[in-house]
Amino acid sequence: MSLFSTARFFTTVAKLPQLPRALIPELAFVGRSNAGKSSAINAICQRRQLARASASPGRTQALNYFALGPEDNPSAYLVDTPGYGYATAPLEIKRQWDGLAGKYLAKRAQLAAVVLVMDIRRQVTALDETLLSWMDPASRLVVIATKCDKLTKQEQRVALKAIHAKLELLRGGQNFEVIMFSADKRVGLDTSRALLEQIVLGTSLEVAQ
């Protein structure tokens, strides 16, 4: 059984001081609105409605925590961050994102990996770049290039190559993996689960600060 099939809602964090104190590794899922983040989380966790369908731009910005592993002793948290980049989002929403999710990504010691969900057809956008610039460059980055069912095999190869090239530039060639994915056609699910599980198991927080 996959670690991810044990996922259950744990808590919602609307302000940084509410972040859980436990030294449990966290996998933060980020992505621009409509990239396919909720669908990817639901597919990986084999749940239809764990991460709810697209929130409206006006909705409160919050981090949603899901616990993974044994009921009384979770081995990891999956953290769903608000989608960013609504064309119509008011400045106030953008500030909230930067202030909560942005600070969380930059500072959270428990962060084992950032999982960036992107539409394989849109590539690494300027917004993704901003987000990557907040991340500690030493943190693991897993890119889920989703909706690959929308491309032919040849187009997939070209798109993956371009994503790799861009990330190598942005990250100095280090510490990232790209997984081709489709929630609809169930591509990359096992690869994602295996890699993320391995990252969680390999994260020791006793030495983290």
Ligand X SMILES: Nc1nc2c(ncn2[C@@H]2O[C@H](COP(=O)(O)OP(=O)(O)O)[C@@H](O)[C@H]2O)c(=O)[nH]1
Return residues touching Mg ion (CB under 5 A). 38, 54
Q: Is 177 in the site for ligand X (CB under 6 A)?
A: no
Using the rule CB under 6 A, is 47 a contact of ligand X? no
Amino acid letter, 187: V
Separation of alpha carbons 114 and 105, rounded Å: 8
| b/e per residue 86-120 (b: at least 16 CB within 10 A) | beebeeebeebbeebbbebbeebebbbbbbbbbbb
Strands (DSSP E) along 14-97, which ranges? 26-30, 63-68, 76-80
Nearer to ligand X, 74 or 83 (CB): 83
Cβ proximity to Mg ion, 24 vs 35, nearer residue: 35
- According to DSSP, the β-strands at 176-180 and 140-146 are parallel
Based on CB atoms, which residue is closest to Mg ion, 10 or 171? 10
Stretch that binds ligand X, among 34-42, 66-74, 84-92, 128-136 (CB under 6 A): 34-42
The single residue among 2, 46, 54, 139 that binds ligand X, judged by CB under 6 A, is 54
Q: To the nearest whole angstrom, how small is the minimum distance from the Cβ of residue 74 to ligand X?
A: 23
* 190 exposure class (CB count in 10 Å sphere: 0-12, 13-18, 19+): exposed
Of the residues 37, 108, 140, 193, which one makes contact with ligand X according to CB under 6 A: 37
Please state the closest distance from residue 36 (CB atom) to ligand X, in A.
Answer: 3
Nearer Cβ to ligand X, position 47 or 69? 47
Neighbours of 49 (CB within 10 A): 8
Alpha helices in the chain (DSSP H): 37-44, 91-97, 103-107, 126-134, 153-171, 189-201
Determine the interface stretch with ligand X among 37-45, 58-66, 71-79, 136-144 (rule: CB under 6 A): 37-45
> Could you say which of 24, 35, 101, 113 contacts ligand X (CB under 6 A)?
35
Binding site for ligand X (CB under 6 A): 31, 33-39, 53-54, 83, 146-147, 149-150, 182-184
